[in-house]
A and B are shown apart, each in its own frame.
Chain A
Amino acid sequence: MHYPWWYVPNFTAPMLIAGIATIHVFVSLYAVGGGIVLAGEVSHAYRINDKSALDYLRTHTLFFILLTVVFGAITGVGIWWTIGLASPLATESLIHIFVFGWAMEYVFFVIEIVSAFIFHYYWGRLAPNVHATVGWIYAVSAYISLVLITGITAFQLDIGNWTPEKGMWSAFFNPQTIPQILARSGASLLLASLYIYLHAAFKLKNHPQLRSLIENRISKWGMASAALVTAGGAWWYVNIPESARSALAGASALNILTALIFLASAVVFFMLYFGPYRHPGWLNPGFAILYFLLGIAATGTGEFIREGVRKPYIVYNYVTGNNVLVSEIPKLQATGYLNGGVWTKAYMRQQYPRVMTTDGNIDYNKLLELPTTDQLRVGEVLFQYHCNDCHSTRGFSGIDRLTQGWNKDMVSTVVTHLDKAHFFMPPWCGNDTEAALLTKYILSLSEPAPPGMKFSYAGDSEDGSTTDVIAREEKNR
C-alpha cells in the first residue's frame, strides 16, 4: 500500500523472515545463555582455582565467537533487513515506536562484541578477577539485549494499553513482555547448557573427573532453565489475547506444538534430575544428543507458536498482515484498495490510464468494462497487495490449492468476508468491484476438485448424482 510489495514467487516474502529468524533465534538465544553460563562457570573455576575446568571452558570461546559474533550478529541484521523488505509499513511503525529501544540495544550490542573479543583473546593474560568481570559484562549486556528485543516482539502480539500518545515505555511494558522474557531466558540457558553437555559428552570421554564436575554443574543450569521455560510459557499462555488463544485452540498443529513445548521441557527437567544430577558419570553421547534435540524442539516450537498466533496482525490491532494500518481500513473500503495504495494507484495510472478520472482517481465503473485478460491482471494486483503476504499463487500456502474445487460464490463470499471466514485473516479492505476482480483472478488459479472422489452411498440415486452440494448446484445450472 504505502510501499511497493515484494513478490517472492512460490514462497511469499514474509516467509523469508521466518527462515532467517528461525536460524537466528537459536544462535542468539545460545549467545545469551552461553554468555551467562560461561561467565558463571569461569568465575567458579577461578574461585576454586580449577585449571582443568578453565582449560575446558576456554575451548568454548572461539566457537562461541564464531557462532555468535559472526553468524548471530549478521543474521540478526538479516532479520532487520528482511522485515524492512517484506513488511515495510510494520517495520516503519515499530521503528517509530521503538527507535530508542533499538538504539539502547545497539549500545549493549557493541559492549557485547568488545567484551566477547577481550574475553577470548585476553584469556590467561588478564588478571582472573578482571577476566571474570569482562565475562559478566558480556553476559549482562547480552541479557539486556534479549530483554529489549523481547519487549518489541512481545508488543507485536499484544499492544496492551499503548496508544501513539503514550510512547515507548507503554509499548514496551505490554502484558506479554515479562512472560516472554522469562520463557526466553529459560530457552537461552537451556540451549547453552545442553550444548555444553553435548560437547562434554564427546570431548571429555577420557576425563571422568572433569566430566562429572561439568555434568553436575551444568545440570543445575539445565533444570533451572527447563523450569523457566515452563513457567514463562504458562504465564505467556494465560496472558495472550483472546484471538491468539482461539488460534491456538483452533489449529490442531499449534495445539500439538504447544503440548510439545511443555512436554519437552518437562522431559528435559526430569531426565537431567534423575540422570546426570543424581548420577554423575551417567552422561553419554546418545543421551546428550537427545537432550540437545529436545532443547531445540522446545525452543523452536515456542518461537514458532509465538509468531503463528499473531495473525492477522503484524502489530496487534495496529498493522495487519497485509501491511495496512487498521485505522486506514474503513477509508480503503469506501474509496477502493487500488485507489488507496501509493503503488497500486501508480500501477493503474501507468497501465490503465483510460480508467483514471481527471482528478487522478480510479473510475471503478470503467474497470468492469476492461477486457477479461485485463480484469484478471487487475485482480492479480489486488492479490499481490492484499493476499500475497500469506498466500502464494502456486506454492507455499498456494491459493490454487486452498480454493481447489470452489465455485464462484464460495470464493466471492470468502473474499468479501475474509475475517468472518477465518478470524486470523484481515478483513477485506477493498470495494465490491475489486472483490469481483479478485474473485475472478482467484478462480483463474483455482484447481478443479480432484477427480475420482466418490461420495455416493447406498441411498444415492443411480443417475450419478452425489451428496456433494456444490457439484449438484453446478449441474443444475
Chain B
Amino acid sequence: MNPTDLIGPVSPLGSPAPFWFITFFKVLGFILHMIPMNIWFAGMILVAVFAAFGKNHSLELAHRLSRTMPVIIALGINLGIVPLLFTQVGYYQFYYPAGVLIARAWLSVIVILIFAYYGVYVYSLGVRNGRRTKFALISAWVSSIAFIFVGFLFTNNFSLMANVQDWIHIYSRTSVGGAALGTGLNTADPTLFPRWLMMFGIAMTTTAVYIAFDATFLKKRDTSEEYRKWAGKFAFVFHTLGVFVFAAMGSWYIFGTLGKPVLDQLNHSPVMYFVFALTAISPGLVWIVMLAQRKSVRRNATIAAAVLQLVVLTLNAISRQWVQNEEIFKFERVSELPVRVQWSPLIVFLLLFVAGLAVVGWMVTKIVAVERSEAGV
C-alpha cells in the first residue's frame, strides 16, 4: 500500500495563515517551551538524586531547583501549547493520525503530568516547610522519572507524524474492526531513541546553564561564595556530560538513522548545511564559556552562556523543523496547501502578543525591584 493513501484530505477551510507564519510561531513557541522544559527534563532527576544522596552544596542545589520548579513547569506547559496549536494548523493531516494510533500512550501524558507536577509540589513544599519526608523524596523520584517518560511519549508522537510508512503496520497490529485501539508506539522507528536522548542531552546543557545563572543572579544573597564556586564547577561538569550525550545521540541520529533523501536534501542546501553545522558545534561554544567559569560563576560569563544557550536552542528548533518539513514533504507539500488568511484575527493576536509581553514585563520589573530592595542593592 502506498503510504500516501493514509493521508487525509486537505481542509476545505484553507489555512488561516501563510505557512511561513505558522512555521515561525511553531518554532518560536518551541524555543520558548524548550527553555523551561529542558530544566525540568534534566533538572528533576538532579533534584531526586541530590535529595537522596546529596550533601551540603549538592543538597542546596536540589532545594534551590525544587523551589523554582513549580513555576518553571507551569510556564513550560503553557508555552508548549503554542507549538502544539500551530502543529495542528499546519500539519493536521499528520498530527491527528499519529496521535490516534498511539492514543492510549498519548492521552496518558495528561495523567502522568498531573502526578508528576503534584509530586514536584510535594517535594517543593516539603523543602519550604523544612519537612523532607520519605514521601516527599519518593515524590521527587516519581516526578523525575515521569517527566523523562513523558519526553519519550512526545518523541513517539512527533517521530510517528513523519514516519507515515509505518502507520499501516501499527494500524494493522492494533486495530479492532478497522478502528485503532490506540495501543501502538513508534518503537520500530530507528530515529525514536536518538531523538529522545538527544533532547535529554540538550536539556542537560540548558540545566547546567540555569544552575550557573541561578547561582549568579537569582537570590544572590542566599548563596555563599563557596556555593557559587561549587555551582560553577558542577555546572561545567554537568554541561560537559550533556554535550557528550548530545554529540553521541546527534551523531547516531544523523549518521545512523536519518533517511538518505533528507541527507541528500541537506547536501543540496548550503544554508541548511551551515545551520546544521552550527547546530552541531554551538553547544561547544557554550562549553568554552562554562569552562571559563568553572572555578566560580561570574556575571559576564553567565550572561554569555545564557545568550549562547538560547542560540543553541534556536538552532536546534530550526534544524528540527527543517528535518520535519523534509520528511513530511515526501508525502504532502503542506507548505503549498490552500491559504485563506484571517487577517484581522491575526493582527489582533499580534497586538495582544506584544501587549501581553508588556504586561508580563511590567510585572517582572516590579518583582525585580522587590528582590533588589530586599537584597539591599
| A346 x B5 contact (CB < 8 A) | yes
Do B178 and A106 have beta carbons less than 8 Å apart?
Answer: no
Which of A84, A115, A168, A345 sits near B363, CB closer than 8 Å? A115
Across the interface, name the chain B residue whose C-beta is closest to A117: B71
Residue A31 is within 8 A (CB to CB) of chain B in the complex: no
Q: Find B88's partner among A73, A92, A100, A347 (CB 8 Å cutoff).
A: A92
A4-B100, A346-B6 known; 17 new pairs, CB 8 Å cut-off, are A3-B100, A4-B97, A66-B121, A77-B113, A84-B95, A85-B100, A92-B11, A103-B82, A106-B82, A111-B359, A126-B367, A134-B363, A167-B342, A167-B344, A342-B7, A346-B171, A384-B176
Q: Which of A88-114 contact B (CB under 8 A)?
A: 88, 91-93, 95-97, 99-104, 106-111, 113-114
B74 & A5 in contact (Cβ 8 Å cutoff): no
Please report the C-alpha to C-alpha distance between residue A81 and residue B178 in the assembled complex, in whole angstroms.
22
Chain B interface, DSSP helix/strand/loop, else mixed? helix
Within 8 A of A (CB), among B358-377: 359-360, 363-364, 366-367, 370, 374
Q: Which residues of A contact B360 (CB under 8 A)?
A: 110-111, 114
22 A-B Cβ contacts within 8 A? A5-B180, A7-B182, A13-B103, A70-B70, A70-B118, A77-B113, A85-B106, A97-B13, A108-B352, A111-B359, A111-B360, A115-B363, A118-B366, A122-B367, A122-B370, A137-B359, A137-B363, A164-B12, A164-B13, A164-B14, A342-B8, A347-B175
The distance from the CB of A162 to the nearest CB of chain B, in whole angstroms, is: 11
Beta-carbon contact of B16 and A4 below 8 Å: no
Range of interface residues on A (Cβ < 8 Å) = 35 or more
A100 touches B178 (CB 8 A): no
Decide if A158 is an interface residue (CB 8 Å cutoff).
Answer: no
**How far, in angstroms, from A458 to B70 measured CA to CA in the complex?**
75
A113 near B172 with CB under 8 A, answer: no
Establish whether residues A70 and B74, one from each chain, have CB atoms under 8 Å apart when the complex forms.
Answer: yes
Neighbour of A100 across the interface among B13, B110, B346, CB < 8 A: B346
- Which B67-90 residues sit within 8 Å CB-CB of chain A? 70-71, 74-75, 77-79, 81-82, 84-86, 88-89
Complex CA gap A209/B121 in Å reads 34
For residue A168, which residues in chain B have a CB less than 8 angstroms away from its CB? Answer: 16, 342, 344-345
A4 touches B171 (CB 8 A): yes
CB distance from B16 to the nearest CB of A (A): 5
Is A287's CB within 8 Å of the partner chain B? no
Expressed in whole angstroms, the minimum distance between the Cβ of A110 and any Cβ of chain B is: 6
Min Cβ gap A10→B in Å is 12
Of A363-371, A375-383, A394-402, the segment with at least 4 beta carbons within 8 Å of chain B is: A375-383
> Is A6 part of the binding interface, using a Cβ–Cβ cutoff of 8 Å?
yes
Contact in complex: B82, A70 (CB < 8 Å): no
C-alpha spacing A80/B81, complex, angstroms: 10
Q: Which residues of A contact B176 (CB under 8 A)?
A: 7, 9, 384
Residue contact A96 to B14, C-beta cutoff 8 Å: yes
Across the interface, name the chain B residue whose C-beta is closest to A85.
B103
- Mask of A1-26 contacts with B, CB within 8 angstroms, 1/0: 01111111100010010001000000
- Asked if B217 is an interface residue, CB under 8 A from chain A, the answer is no
Residues of A close to B103: CB separation below 8 A: 6, 13, 85
Contact of B77 among A6, A77, A104, A134 (CB under 8 A): A77
A130 to B367, CA, bound (A): 10
- B168 contact from A78, A100, A346, Cβ within 8 A: A346
* Contact A3-B353, Cβ < 8 Å, known A74-B110, A81-B107, A100-B348: no
- Residue from B6, B177, B181, B370 in contact with A383 in the complex, judged by beta carbons closer than 8 Å: B177
Q: What is the minimal beta-carbon distance from A8 to any residue of chain B, in angstroms?
A: 8
> Could you tell me which residues of chain A, from 158 to 216, have a CB within 8 Å of some CB in chain B?
164-165, 167-169
Q: Is B340 located at the chain interface by the 8 A CB criterion? A: yes
Q: Does A417 contact B (CB under 8 A)?
A: no
| Complex partner residue of B179 from A7, A93, A102, CB under 8 angstroms | A7
**Contacting pair B366 A130 (CB below 8 A):** yes
Which residues of the partner chain A approach B95 to less than 8 Å between Cβ atoms? 84
Is A327 in the interface zone, CB < 8 Å from B? Answer: yes
Q: Does A325 contact B (CB under 8 A)?
A: yes
Q: In the complex, which of the residues B86, B179, B345 contacts A4, with contact meaning CB atoms closer than 8 Å?
A: B179
Q: Which chain A residues (320-365) contact chain B, with CB distance < 8 Å?
A: 325, 327, 342-347, 349-350
- In the complex, whether A71 has a CB less than 8 A from a CB of chain B is yes
Tell yes or no: B99 within 8 A of A by CB.
Answer: yes
